[in-house]
Structure 1
Amino acid sequence: MKAVTWRGVDEIGVEEVPDPTIVNRGDIVVEVGLSATCGSDLHLMGGFVPAMRAGDVLGHEFMGTVAEVGPDVTNHRVGDRVVVVSFISCGKCWYCQQGLFSLCDNGNPNPGLTEALWGQAIGGCFGYSHALGGWAGSHARFIRVPYADQGAFTIPDDVSDERALFASDAAPTGWTGAHQAGVQPGDVVAVWGAGGVGQMAARKAVLMGAERVVVVDRFDNRLEQVRTHIGAETLDYEQVDVPAALREVTGGRGPDVCIEAVLERMSRGEEVRTEHLATHVMPLEDGPKGYRMFKEKEDGCIRAVFRPGA
């Protein structure tokens, strides 16, 4: 099958790679419907994340249809539409039981690399170097998903592919930022960065009852998305003195909460619209072009999204 791969620093390619198969009894194989670029991929492109190898398949934010099911999988059947969490966790180890899924003891089969580099083993992530497990990424026709009952979630029939896609990473990352920042009803919240994650953090703050949410960026198309789709105020840091402007809108005291989102469980009742983030949808063969557009923000690109079946 064809896949978008890392070939070297600032070099992205499209090449043939082996089809994935069921390896462990809790695996599923997903036929990828949509797979998005992410700001954290730019670290891989620039060579700032160790243990990348030429030919590694990129991509960690995706949704698709279950194509194969391991014998121990209970939550999914062939034909189900699913969105998959970008970090890989078993759901059973001590860290997972504490809700610290990105530190899962079993999600990263190469813990020695991060222990040596950073002094602590962390969990695994799709398409994010051999330091995080060497798992093949989602910019491909098919992907193997381990611990599927833990990390894959069935998409309700009334939720579109485009909306479900960003529940894999951008939406929960932004929501976690607002949650961990402790936003309270009546707060004034300032969010730096109007990319996908910044927009989701701002939307979560709105839904948590913030009195005012102000998003800071410099790209007109991003700021327009914030005003149109998120329901927040905006500041262009190239046009105004941001600290002075924030003091002005808060009576001189400044924001109650600040969230930095420069770079990056939706429920059916706490509705969040994310389709607008997929500004450029293209076939897998355009992978290098998509990453270039995303990195350079060409043509107002917020996220390039690949459709492997196109």
Structure 2
Amino acid sequence: MFILGQPLSSKTLESTMDSTLDLKTATENKVNAFQRFWNGINWDQIIATLIEKTIYLLFLILLFAFLNRIGKALIDKTYGNYSKKQSFSESRLKTLHTLINNAFQYTLFFFFVYSLLTVVGVPVGSLLAGAGIAGVAIGLGAQGFMNDIITGFFIILEQQMDVGDYVRLTALGIEGTVTAVGLRTTQMKALDGTIHFIPNRNITTISNLSRSNMQVLIDVRIIPDEGYDKIIAIIDQVNLELKEKYSESIQTGPTIFGMVDLGNGNFAVRTTMYVLNGKQAPIREEFLAQYVKKLSEANFTIPNTPITLT
């Protein structure tokens, strides 16, 4: 025999044939092993298991869908009834409603995934054990975040402050108007326009200055010798006119307290009243301006000399 024009020896020929036979035998053995494996598969059991698992999965999906619908309906019904009976602001009620809904959804989702993995055959116990170690590390890092969430929840639930309230945070030395109350942070706008973003865990004492009527004191300086009774009559007339104008804002008064000594020979007539929170400044300004105007028109002197406090 010749290969590429060269004679092939009998030993080489025998070696080539042996290699070919070994390769053929190895291939046949692999094919036979695969056939034995394939033939050894219990297809009836596999199909039965797939049908069983599919039925369980469908049952779980239907069960948790039903629980989700029932739970949301109960939460919505409770929210509706509670909103009619309680004097919560709409923003607070919506926040609480969303918070409870989210907590319910997350809890339901956790149990659904747990049941799903159990049906599939995943060793959930081992996974939870491993996740528990990682959860401890994450929990330590997220402790401040969780404190913010819990504190924010109780601030909203207990109506400690609302958007628009003027509050003072004693421990932080901050005061201003609340612009947003969230589960993690609270936003406040100071009188100079500064916006403060405060983590809820730092809020310890809240002094809310917007929950009750506020007292307004108005002092108009006078010279008693010019006719105290006439001055009182003019101030009383102004009070009657402006009380009708601000009837919705003035809750009590105005009442003429009488003459007060400002020191160093300076005297004033003081008027007191209680008004809705937030209305103090415009009402004080309007009353004082009218006092000065009417007294000046009646030729009474309004002293303008500085008052020295000792």
Q: TM-score, normalised by structure 2?
A: 0.20
Name the structure with the higher helix share.
Answer: 2
Q: Tell me the TM-score normalized by structure 1.
A: 0.20
Of structures 1 and 2, the larger Rg is shown by 2
Which structure would you say has the larger RCO, counting Cα contacts within 8 Å and 6 or more residues apart?
1
Structure having the larger proportion of residues in strand: 1
